[in-house]
Amino acid sequence: MELIDWAIMSLTLLFIIVYGVWKNNSHKNIEDYIRGGNKATWFTVGLSVMATQASAITFLSTPGQAFNDGMGFVQFYFGLPFAMIIICLFFLPVYHKLKVFTAYEFLEKRFDLKTRTLTAALFLVQRGLAAGITIYAPAIILSVVLGWNLKLLVVVIGLLVVFYTLIGGTQAVNVTQKQQMIIIFSGMVAAFIFIVKALPENLSFSNALHVAGLNGKLNVLDFSIDPNSRYTFWSGITGGLFLALSYFGTDQSQVQRYLSGKSLAESQRGLIMNGFLKIPMQFFILLTGVLVFVFFQFEKAPLHFNPYASEKIKTTEGSEQFEALEVANDIIHQEKQKQLQKEDFFSNKASQKKYLQLENQAQINRAEAKKIMEVNQPQIESNDKDYVFIYFILNYLPQGLIGLLLAVILSAAMSSSASEINALSATTVVDLYQRFHNTENEKHYVWAGKGFTLLWGIIAIAFALVGNLFENLIQLVNIIGSLFYGTILGIFLIAIFLKSIRANAVFYAALLTEIIVLIIYSQEWVSFLWLNVIGAVTCVIIAQLFQRIIK
């Protein structure tokens, strides 16, 4: 990384933070601090909602996902636009009418205090853990590939986020997210253009896609009903719908974004904007990953994309085997070129078949290399999916663009964790602190909000510092989410759609559902993606039964 990259990265991040704080540092009351004084236009709401969901892992992991498994992951978002419509029609009008600060506040008005407190507590546990991972996940990857100190990086990212979130509250989060999204979009577009340009000159864009297609990377749609395929059209519009409903409809880190809208209509438009843009955005990020795959068909790819893991393995007993595989893949690469460079490659079936056999062998070797790593250095993550895109960025992008792309990744990390810390603080103040500590002094709650922002920031940083105790982070965030999300969604669905069900029935149904979900998870009966659907449906059914018994 050169000086110019450092300069671009630091100046971009610094400008965003200083601007965010400078514009928003006076808060008369808690409404200003938590709902940003209800000044946000639909465009700000939309960008803020998108920036909150797009974490650094979205940009590091998703291209790697496409590199390995193709573009089928986009189907996971197919339920999202439907969820946006349901939230706009049924959730948002209720929140707006009751003028709530948090989603959980609505539950006390609809049910009782204990249901509100339970739901807020579930959110705090789940989001409190996730906030640490949001910082840790990109930090570990960047520290490995750039040789930065992991703990220092975690603390720096964490403190920067706490700094502007604490001083500026929701409005600073919204304003910074707008800038961050601009950086993210322009960085990704620039990277995309560069990758296309970096492909061999005699390879047209259409032929590049044919290479990807030959390798099965462009299988966007999968209509199979095989329960073992994780991302299918059907799981997308069912599981994906429930997940999006939970996340956007009941998770305060998202709810707080659109509650800051100027009016009901502005908030709705913001969510609809997300409904329009999310799928093309994910498609575009996945396509970037697929093009990186095509790029490495013509350029020699490393056997393993995590440079640290590859270096370490050479100091273990697995060294010889690993190096032999490296040599084998180099030879395969040369052989592949002979086929790919043939003038009639795209019409020559025999040539294509030969190429695919070679590529298949290269993949087998890569899988074998991972096994060698698992045996010889079990403490290091052998999955290199998260390292593919950053490897490409650092080794092939021109100076300057590397700095911009690192700013993209750090911006994404900061925008997500700012929303999380901001929402954790709001929920703690409104649903717990304010509920049990009454004062007329509005300023007092603003200070409490700042205090809890600091506290949650410190908890997130502390958790991120011990993040190396957990493997496979993106999975972990999703699992934590799925364990609680279903129950929380169930409570909200009952609150909004089943008016006859009362407080006690829903409260005990929620507790029982949570126990059932935890049992199902511990017994590994279904993939964690389905826990969310199971939780929501179970909660609704049990609450119905309880309500009948109570009658």
Please give the residue ranges that form the binding site for another protein (CB under 8 A): 74, 78, 81-82, 84-85, 88-90, 93-94, 206, 209-210, 212-214, 216, 218-221, 269, 272, 275-276, 279-280, 283
Measured from the CB of residue 25, what is the shortest distance to another protein in angstroms? 36
Phi, psi of 261 (to 5 degrees): -65, 150
What type of residue is 320? E
Measured from the CB of residue 90, what is the shortest distance to another protein in angstroms? 7
- The distance between the two most distant Cα atoms of the chain, rounded to a whole number of Å, is 80
Measured from the CB of residue 79, what is the shortest distance to another protein in angstroms? 10
Could you give the 3-state DSSP secondary structure of residue 451? helix
Residue 7 or 85: which CB sits closer to another protein? 85
Angle, helix 150-198 to helix 264-298, in steps of 10 degrees: 70
For every residue of 204-254, DSSP letters joined together read -HHHHHHHHHHTTTT--------TT-SS-HHHHHHHHHHHHHHHHHH-HHH
Residue 82 or 148: which CB sits closer to another protein? 82
Task: State how far the Cα of 425 lies from the Cα of 417, in Å rounded to an integer.
Answer: 12
Residue 218 or 259: which CB sits closer to another protein? 218
Q: Per residue in 119-147, is it b (16+ CB within 10 Å) or e — as a string?
A: bbebbbebbbbbbbbbbbbbbbbbbbbee
Residue 219 or 315: which CB sits closer to another protein? 219
How many CA within 13 A on the CB side of residue 495?
A: 28
> To which H or E segment does residue 289 belong?
helix 264-298
Residue 497 or 525: which CB sits closer to another protein? 497
Residue 89 or 125: which CB sits closer to another protein? 89
Q: Which residues contact 363 (CB under 8 A, 6 or more apart)?
A: none
For every residue of 126-151, DSSP letters joined together read HHHHHHHHHHHHHHHHHHHHH---HH
Residue 53 or 416: which CB sits closer to another protein? 53
For the chain, helix, strand, coil in percent to 5 are 80, 0, 20
Measured from the CB of residue 208, what is the shortest distance to another protein in angstroms? 9
Measured from the CB of residue 93, what is the shortest distance to another protein in angstroms? 5
Distance from CA of residue 248 to its chain's centroid?
A: 13
Could you give the 3-state DSSP secondary structure of residue 261? strand
Measured from the CB of residue 347, what is the shortest distance to another protein in angstroms? 15
Residue 198 or 277: which CB sits closer to another protein? 277
Residue 218 or 303: which CB sits closer to another protein? 218
Q: Which residues contact 409 (CB under 8 A, 6 or more apart)?
A: 56, 59, 60, 138, 142, 390
Measured from the CB of residue 249, what is the shortest distance to another protein in angstroms? 15
Measured from the CB of residue 88, what is the shortest distance to another protein in angstroms? 7
Measured from the CB of residue 221, what is the shortest distance to another protein in angstroms? 6
Residue 83 or 414: which CB sits closer to another protein? 83
Measured from the CB of residue 49, what is the shortest distance to another protein in angstroms? 15
Q: What are the residue ranges of helices labelled H in 2-148?
A: 3-23, 30-35, 42-53, 56-69, 80-86, 92-98, 103-110, 113-146
Residue 204 or 315: which CB sits closer to another protein? 204
Residue 147 or 216: which CB sits closer to another protein? 216
Any idea which residue has 């540092």 for tokens? 25
Measured from the CB of residue 494, what is the shortest distance to another protein in angstroms? 16
Cβ atoms of residues 102 and 120 within 8 Å: yes
Please, what sign has the CA dihedral across residues 295, 298, 304, 306? Answer: negative
Any idea which residue has 């514009």 for tokens? 23
Measured from the CB of residue 218, what is the shortest distance to another protein in angstroms? 5
